[in-house]
Amino acid sequence: MPVTAGRDPIPSEAAHRAAVQTLLASYRAIPPQATVRLAKKTSNLFRARAETTAPGLDVSGLARVIAVDPGARTADVGGMTTYEDLVAATLPHGLAPLVVPQLKTITLGGAVTGLGIESSSFRNGLPHESVLELDVLTGDGAIVRATPPSGPGDSRLYRGFPNSYGTLGYATRLKIELEPVLPFVALRHLRFAELSAAQETMDAVVTERSYAGERVDYLDGVVFGRDECYLTLGRQTDEPGPVSDYTGMDIYYRSIRRRSTDRLTVHDYLWRWDTDWFWCSRAFGAQHPRIRRFWPKRYRRSSFYWKLIALDQRYGVADRLEARRGNPPRERVVQDIEVPIEQTAGFLDWFLREIPIEPIWLCPLRLREPGPVGGPRPWPLYPLEPERTYVNIGFWSSVPAAVDAPGAANRAIEHKVAELGGHKSLYSDAFYTADEFAVLYGGDEYPSLKNSYDPHDRLLDLYAKAVQRQ
């Protein structure tokens, strides 16, 4: 039986319906000539966008878990619900989303329209693949229910919505699958002195879903250098025992180099990367023991670090400091890319030579549902091949900027990834030409989807939003 999970005394379903009406009223209040955008104070995007004075969509009422059905292993959630709130509602039932992106304030709607990934993606795919149905406010102001082809709703929008980044519409409600989880996760950190050996082992674990006779439920990795790479294998367990805590003075990613095994509660495992935003908190001094001791624990989370980044972007603090030291400005290199697994070691070798940023995150993935033989790819705006393993490679830092070639490092990465048959996520800076972009992100299908669900161009075009930063 569904369990409601509202934050207020109004029944969650009724509150959600009222929130949708508020959303529709805010849509109608936006002038016809103005671009429709969200009125949203926070974001996990790293690309700038043009300022606007037009009112935005009021999505304030869509950030709630509507219901959890433990028997059916499903959850109904508003489109702006964060994974932090969803996990808090599902774990008491021994359930979790099939894929929980690493950062607490990523929303369900954001992970589906912008893609998300985590260490369960080698067996569960990407977040949009566990969506059973979703309601979308499309560009023409209609609420459309989208479902897989086997369902009663609009399957074309269901397939086209992932990686559309709000250019076809915004999710108001999603119904997703959940999976059973045990209370703890036992970890093994495997060290490799050669990138090719790590690639080979990762490929074998993805195929077998086990290592050395032990089941593997979670799989990711960290590269600290060409001769120091780790794969972390996680296994759910209900065995009692001591657990580590990386929300205080200890730092998770550093522990990978110090110990070969570890144990976390499943809650702390799901959020192991959020406390220090992987390793990016070091840029703010939050990993220095003397500073960390007095850094309020409630501010040791990705959402707070993101606010500091936003202030830097607005006022150019980092570039001003570099200029005072006599250094050139720095180019932000904040990207997640995917390449076929057999290209992983080759890409990393090139990257560490040409763009010397470390650490680097690794996360293998495979689509859950193979597309029909000879038929269209299941997710046209991010066309990964069914029954093929890819590796997400994440790197988040900066390099000295080339004065005469803006974005040179990012452009080089784009060219290399395309050369290796991969893609990159569009949450950060992109520099593709319009023709290059069309080949990688939807081809002829995107204009057709845009014409169907946003015929009057109330929403930005995907290229305009992701590359031109309008």
For residue 458, give Cα distances in angstroms to 27, 168, 195.
10, 9, 47
Establish if 410 belongs to a structural domain: no
- Cα radius of gyration (the chain): 22
**pLDDT(318) > 70:** no
Are 199 and 151 in contact by the 8 Å Cβ rule? The answer is no
383 or 324: whose pLDDT is higher? 383
Residues 460, 140: Cα–Cα separation, whole Å: 13
How many structural domains does the chain have? Answer: 1
Per-residue pLDDT at 15 exceeds 50 = yes
Question: What is the spatial distance between Cα 275 and Cα 301, in angstroms, rounded to a whole number?
Answer: 4
Residues 229-279: tens digit of each pLDDT: 999 999 999 999 999 999 999 999 999 999 999 999 999 999 999 999 999
Judge whether residue 354 has pLDDT over 90: yes
Residue 67 falls inside a structural domain: yes
- The average pLDDT across 8-23 equals 82
How big is the chain, counted in residues? 470
What was the pLDDT predicted at 141? 94
Q: What 3 state SS string does the chain have?
A: CCEECCCCCCCHHHHHHHHHHHHHHHHHHCCCCCCCCECCCCCCCCCCCCCCCCCCECCHHHCCEEEEECCCCEEEEECCCEHHHHHHHHHHHCEEECCCCCCCCCEHHHHHHHCCCCCCHHHHCCHHHHEEEEEEEECCCCEEEECCCCCCCCHHHHHHCCCCCCCCEEEEEEEEEEEECCCEEEEEEEEECCHHHHHHHHHHHHHHCEECCEECCEEEEEEEECCEEEEEEEEEECCCCCCCCCCCCCCHHHHHHHCCEEEEEHHHHHCCCCCCCCCHHHHHCCCCHHHHHHCCHHHCCHHHHHHHHHHHHHHCHHHHHHHHCCCCCEEEEEEEEEEEHHHHHHHHHHHHHHCCCCCEEEEEECCCCCCCCCCCCCCCCCCCCCCCCEEEEEEEEEEECCCCCCCHHHHHHHHHHHHCCCEECCCCCCCCCHHHHHHHCCCCHHHHHHHHHCCCCCCCCHHHHHCCCC
Q: Look up tokens 């080089």; give the residue.
A: 412
Distance CA 5, CA 413 (A): 43
In terms of residue numbers, what domain contains 81? 3-180
Domain-located, residue 371? no
Core vs surface per residue 378-389: b (16+ CB within 10 A) or e: bbbbbbbebeeb
Residue 153, in any domain of the structure? yes
Q: Is residue 117 part of a domain?
A: yes
Q: Are 356 and 310 in contact (CB under 8 A)?
A: no
Closest alpha carbon to 76 in 23, 131, 22, 129? 131
Phi, psi of 108 (to 5 degrees): -60, -45
- Model pLDDT for residues 172-221, shown as the tens digit of each residue: 999 999 999 999 999 999 999 999 999 999 999 999 999 999 999 999 99
Q: What angle do CA 363, 307, 334 make, to 5 degrees?
A: 35
Query: Is residue 405 a part of any domain in this protein?
Result: no
- Establish if 136 belongs to a structural domain: yes
Q: pLDDT at residue 142 above 50?
A: yes
**Residue 69: beta bridge partners?**
74
Q: Supply the pLDDT for residue 296.
A: 92
Q: What's the pTM?
A: 0.92
**pLDDT, tens digit (0-9, with 9 covering 90-100), for 412-463:** 999 999 999 999 999 888 999 999 999 999 888 999 999 999 999 999 999 9
pLDDT of residue 36: 87
pLDDT at 144 over 90: yes
The CATH number given to whatever domain includes residue 81 is 3.30.465.10
Distance (Å) of CA 368 to CA 124, 150, 327, 380: 6, 16, 47, 15
Q: Could you tell me how far CA 338 lies from the centroid of its own chain?
A: 13
Q: How confident is the model at residue 37 (pLDDT cuts 50, 70, 90)?
A: confident
Is 232:256 a contact under the CB 8 Å cutoff? Answer: yes
Distance separating alpha carbons of residues 44 and 454, to the nearest angstrom: 24
Question: Is residue 30 a part of any domain in this protein?
Answer: yes
Tell me what the mean pLDDT of segment 372-376 comes to.
52
363: how many CB neighbours lie within 10 A of its CB? 23
Helices 344-354, 408-419: inter-axial angle, 10-degree rounding: 160
User: 206-225 b/e with 16+ CB inside 10 Å = b?
Assistant: beeeebeeeebbbbbbbbbe
